[in-house]
Structure 1
């Protein structure tokens, strides 16, 4: 990944070094990146958000400058890791924001640790439908690591990265995210990164698509403010998954940003930060009640108002 203008700090938890950046002061926001990315995917919004909040943006285990051990790369394992990171840093609660795979981790974090989750923001998130780009499903196939070892040899890698970045400058909406894809592809030159990514994907995707889902537990969001943000031109996870969120997540706010792809926080950072800030300012932090949580678990999903879907036309 590219260098970060913010100081990268490190903490060792359970014997593994974890990288993160921290900026600002105020209520805590935890930003979790997607598959193959690192904290730098949030750079366009960190400074804006840090004017009002304490922003913590880690490199998930197996990504970026964090260690890439043989370890538990399940969404539950990642949620535990984020709890431990917040604990070591001295924070009890946070508004949890997750992009793509990080959205799946955010959902799991909110489910496992509702007492530590003030709000939940899902950005082009996994876990809202089975469909996923074939490029991600391909990571689960035999021979992926060997193929990437060849494709990321210096000459081929440089040509591939240059080609993807050139295509990303075309006016085609389908090419919008290729610059970020080029950065992810370049990271695969590290054998440890390839190995970790394959384990991550196999934990959440099989040949039919995504395995993880929030649909069977979405009713629990009645007790927690939730916002879903999507780019209308997303080619990785289809924008119709935002409609799935509107159907299954009672009272959630759903925003679809026009002229944006799988990385709306990069395509329109000021608009994204405005949506997040307005969501936080207009909602009260969730207050965990064991009695209420027990009641929800016992009764299951009941009739509740559907979320409203808002299209945002970006300037």
Structure 2
């Protein structure tokens, strides 16, 4: 990854604004760049907007890009209540309102994919097109829930390099691409005052009893009318291509693109293909399944 110097290096030559936006009383950290159709990027469990640091410059050539820290994540506020999918979706819709955005393309990775799909199903008037980027554990497998819960909680309870680095490496097929900067950034988030309770409020989604009300299933997924790109990888540790096939059956208007030689974070490991997939899908005349 010789072309990658640092997160700041990725953003050094792109005009952008980093600010905090009030969303229903939640101080929300937001990064915006570019011009064109609105595109919102949502990170995964325990994550932060820097998950897209390697993509902002490329996407900003064609879109007005907004990446943000979801409620209870990154450097946004950490109110003490469960961050269930409806809560995270309401926060997204509230951010759209706060920024004066009527409709937008939504692209979410892992937990973010779950949130944008739920939003498209329950607020179809706010969504143009949808990208579900390795949305994770569509089949609600208990072993995957336990892995996410246990490794995340261990890293937050003791945000040492020894605990946080494996949690970040879990996201990558090529572990050597995990930089000290990325690990230390995650350590800083996990070390925030109040973050232990915040991550417990996020990890309620790995409890089968809580998850039942929001679990992926054809009833609500079938209400997603927005054209949808399923962006999968060959080595996603949270779910295989078989789970993408389930979504293809449930979604009324969807297409699958598989990125080779990548894990849970193709936006970091395979930047060019990630960018091309977004441009081709979001800027094309969509002709339906295929």
Q: TM-score, normalised by structure 2?
A: 0.82
* Residue aligning to 1:115: 125
After superposition, residues 37-48 of structure 1 pair within 5 angstroms as: 37-48=47-58
Aligned to 1:59: 69
User: Which of residues 236, 239, 242 is equivalent to 1:240?
Assistant: 242
Question: 2:230 maps to what in 1?
Answer: 228
Equivalent residue, structure 2, for 1:272: 274
- Following superposition, the deviation at residue 100 of structure 1 comes to 0.2
What do the CA deviations read for 1:222-275 (whole angstroms, capped 9, x no partner)?
Answer: x32011101211113334321222222233111111101000111111111101
Q: Secondary structure at the match of 1:65?
A: coil
- Whole-angstrom CA distance in 1 between matches of 2:257 and 2:229: 8
What is the DSSP-based 3-state SS (H/G/I as helix, E as strand, rest coil) of the residue aligned with 1:220?
Answer: coil
* 1:213 aligns to 2:223 (yes or no): no
Q: What is residue 92 of structure 1 aligned with on the other side? A: 102
Q: Are 1:158 and 2:161 an aligned pair?
A: yes
The superposition leaves residues 72-129 of structure 1 with CA deviations (integer Å, 9 ceiling, x where unpaired) of 5111111111111111111100011111001111011111210111011100104622
Contact 1:229/1:256 (<8 A) preserved: yes
Residue 283 of structure 2 corresponds to which residue in structure 1?
A: 281
Unaligned 5+ residue runs, structure 2?
1-5
Distance change >3 Å, CA 176–CA 234, structure 1 → 2: farther
Q: In 2 relative to 1, CA 129–186 (structure 1 residues): closer, same or farther, beyond 3 Å?
A: farther
Query: How far apart are 1:11 and its partner, in Å?
Result: 1.2
Trace 1:1-315 onto structure 2 (pairs within 5 A): 5=11, 6-126=16-136, 128-131=138-141, 132=144, 134-138=146-150, 144=153, 148-149=156-157, 151-152=158-159, 157-161=160-164, 173=173, 175=175, 184=186, 187-202=189-204, 204-206=205-207, 211=212, 212-221=215-224, 223-283=225-285, 308=290
Gapped runs of 5+ residues in structure 1?
Answer: 286-304, 309-315
Change (3 A) 1:184 1:200: same
Distance in 2 (CA, whole Å) between partners of 1:261 and 1:226 is 21
SS at match of 2:279: helix
Count matched residues: 272
Residue 139 of structure 1 contacts residue 198 of structure 1 at CA under 8 Å; is this kept in 2?
Answer: no
Residues 253-305 of structure 1 deviation map (CA, whole Å, 9 limit, x = unaligned): 111111010001111111111011111122459xxxxxxxxxxxxxxxxxxx9
Does the 8 Å contact 1:237/1:262 carry over to 2? no
